[in-house]
Amino acid sequence: MTTHALPTRPIPTTRAVDTTSIDTTPARGDDLDPIWRSVIPETRARSNDVHLPISLAYAERLCDAHPEADSLLVRVSILLHDTGWGRVDESRILSEGFTGDWRKSAIRFEHEKQGCEIAREVLPPLGYDDGFVREVTAIIDGHDTRPEPHSLEDALVRDADRLWRFDHAGIALASGWFGLAPAPYCDRLRREIIPELHSEAALTMATTALDRSEALLKTGVLR
Ligand SMILES: [Fe+2]
Ligand SMILES: [Fe+2]
């Protein structure tokens, strides 16, 4: 196992945290490009082609703040975590996946299971061993529906999955999924999503990005 025990929340970091706009640090290198190429059809669902690359960029910042974490595991897991949306009934994504008790909807569990299947299909032919694939699927399985992460790497993936929402691109896309204008959506991010973050680094990045996005989108006036 390469995962590390989950420290107490909020997970502290002794490193400097990069709080600049995420577009200043796109995901580095090309080592994951073969995985990206294997899931291109799945990136077309639910704006994964925006959500996944931005979340990977945030995941790399979190790994910089946590050099003790297995960064390859975090990066591959965040890249693949929502690909399962590409294999569920598209019409049910918004009707069930983002309304009511959306975290517990059947379609949520389905996208997690399908995401695990995709990881088992695409990773072994690219040379990733069985143990690594099991660790990736352990993170993908339940990433939205399991109440708590089971390792440091799992927690960092969850934080990266949330952090993209605080960027203006995330607000522009995800506010529509919830049928909200940007201002009340930003209120909801502050009220509901910030308390869900696990790491101090993510808390710092989220609050800085949200302040910046609210100023940019003039949510103080446009409400
Ligand atoms: Fe998800
Ligand atoms: Fe996600």
Structural domain includes residue 9: no
Structural domain includes residue 139: yes
pLDDT at 182 (0 to 100): 98
Tell me the CA–centroid distance for residue 54 and ligand 1, in Å.
14
Tell me the CA–centroid distance for residue 170 and ligand 2, in Å.
11
SS3 call for 35: helix
Count of H-run helices and E-run strands, the chain: 11, 0
Structural domain includes residue 180: yes
The whole-angstrom separation of Cα 77 and Cα 212 is 28
Which residues have C-beta under 5 Å from ligand 1, the single-atom ion?
Answer: 82, 144
Structural domain includes residue 4: no
Structural domain includes residue 18: no
The whole-angstrom separation of Cα 189 and Cα 119 is 30
Tell me the CA–centroid distance for residue 218 and ligand 2, in Å.
26
Structural domain includes residue 21: no
Tell me the CA–centroid distance for residue 82 and ligand 1, in Å.
5
**Ligand nearest to the Cα of 139, by number:** 1
**Which residue numbers in the chain have pLDDT < 70?**
1, 97-99, 102
**Ligand nearest to the Cα of 140, by number:** 1
Structural domain includes residue 150: yes
Structural domain includes residue 11: no
Tell me the CA–centroid distance for residue 129 and ligand 2, in Å.
24
pLDDT at 97 (0 to 100): 63
The CATH number linked to 80 is 1.10.3210.10
Structure pTM? 0.95
**Ligand nearest to the Cα of 111, by number:** 1
Q: What angle do CA 23, 24, 27 make, to 5 degrees?
A: 70
Tell me the CA–centroid distance for residue 220 and ligand 1, in Å.
30
Specify the number of domains making up the chain: 1
In the numeric block, which tokens belong to residue 2? 């390469």
Tell me the CA–centroid distance for residue 177 and ligand 1, in Å.
13
DSSP letter for 103, please. Answer: G
pLDDT at 130 (0 to 100): 98
The whole-angstrom separation of Cα 17 and Cα 221 is 30
Instruction: State the residue range of the domain holding 80.
Output: 32-216
How do residues 34-58 score in pLDDT, each as one tens digit?
A: 999 999 999 999 999 999 999 999 9
